[in-house]
């Protein structure tokens, strides 16, 4: 197990308890699947670090952290139901760990929310989770380019014209939202850079 995976396992155990180590190894291992290029251990680690920074804006930080572990646990580029399947996995695992129905429901809701990253006003947990998942959009131009290249590599089996159309649709749906980032801290830090990066990639996709 890599150092990064070990650090993530430590975080999982701190969240779910020492008896959950074997389950944690299985969940974390999913992020090291060979077909992944962006939705990897590094993405999960960055996301959890962002959640730490935004934790004071959440109302149930444990639910948000569980949702981060599960949100891309099932990731198949040829399917459109990854979030739903990941939410089902979260349900099964959390119920096996004796989680309350309220926690199970909230984690499932949050995982599915990462499909469109558009939490409703007042959804504090959703805002923290979605903001953490989108921090990559607010990186430097070089960091964003590396992210975009990794996404393209995950979809390397898709012809260029189809990929460009699909990717542009995803980006436009994000760009049309009044705010990409819902928590005040993330909005101040990432919004401007993220919008510039999205605009630049959309120009490239259309060119």
Instruction: Give the pLDDT confidence score for residue 182 in this predicted structure.
Output: 98
Q: Is the pTM of this model over 0.85?
A: yes
pLDDT at residue 207 greater than cutoff 90: no
Residue 4 contacts by C-beta under 8 Å, 6 or more apart in sequence? 41, 42, 45
pLDDT tens figures, 43-96: 999 999 999 999 999 999 999 999 999 999 999 998 899 999 999 999 999 999
Instruction: Give the pLDDT confidence score for residue 206 in this predicted structure.
Output: 87
Q: What is the CATH number of domain 3-206?
A: 1.10.1300.10
pLDDT level of residue 1 (50, 70, 90 thresholds): confident
- What's the mean pLDDT in 153-173? 96
- Pull the structure tokens for residue 138: 């607010």
- Pull the structure tokens for residue 194: 């993220």
Question: Is residue 79 within 8 Å of residue 156, measured between CB atoms?
Answer: no
pLDDT level of residue 100 (50, 70, 90 thresholds): very high
- What's the mean pLDDT in 134-158? 97
Question: Is residue 103 within 8 Å of residue 66, measured between CB atoms?
Answer: yes
pLDDT tens figures, 9-52: 999 999 999 999 999 999 999 999 999 999 999 999 999 999 99
Instruction: Give the pLDDT confidence score for residue 87 in this predicted structure.
Output: 98
């Amino acid at each position: 197990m890599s150092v990064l995976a070990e650090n993530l396992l430590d975080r999982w155990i701190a969240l779910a308890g020492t008896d959950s180590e074997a389950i944690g190894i299985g969940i974390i291992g999913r992020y090291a699947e060979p077909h992944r290029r962006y939705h990897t251990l590094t993405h999960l680690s960055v996301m959890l670090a962002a959640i730490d920074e935004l934790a004071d804006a959440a109302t149930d930080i444990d639910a948000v952290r569980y949702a981060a572990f599960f949100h891309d646990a099932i990731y198949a580029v040829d399917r459109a139901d990854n979030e739903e399947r990941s939410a089902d996995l979260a349900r099964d695992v959390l119920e096996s760990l004796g989680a309350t129905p309220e926690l199970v429901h909230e984690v499932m809701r949050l995982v599915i929310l990462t499909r469109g990253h558009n939490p409703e006003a007042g959804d504090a947990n959703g805002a923290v989770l979605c903001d953490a998942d989108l921090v990559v959009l607010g990186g430097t131009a070089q960091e964003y380019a590396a992210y975009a290249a990794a996404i393209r590599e995950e979809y390397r089996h898709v012809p260029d014209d189809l990929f460009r159309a699909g990717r542009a649709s995803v980006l436009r749906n994000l760009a049309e939202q009044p705010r990409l980032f819902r928590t005040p801290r993330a909005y101040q830090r990432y919004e401007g850079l993220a919008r510039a990066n999205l605009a630049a990639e959309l120009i490239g996709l259309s060119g």
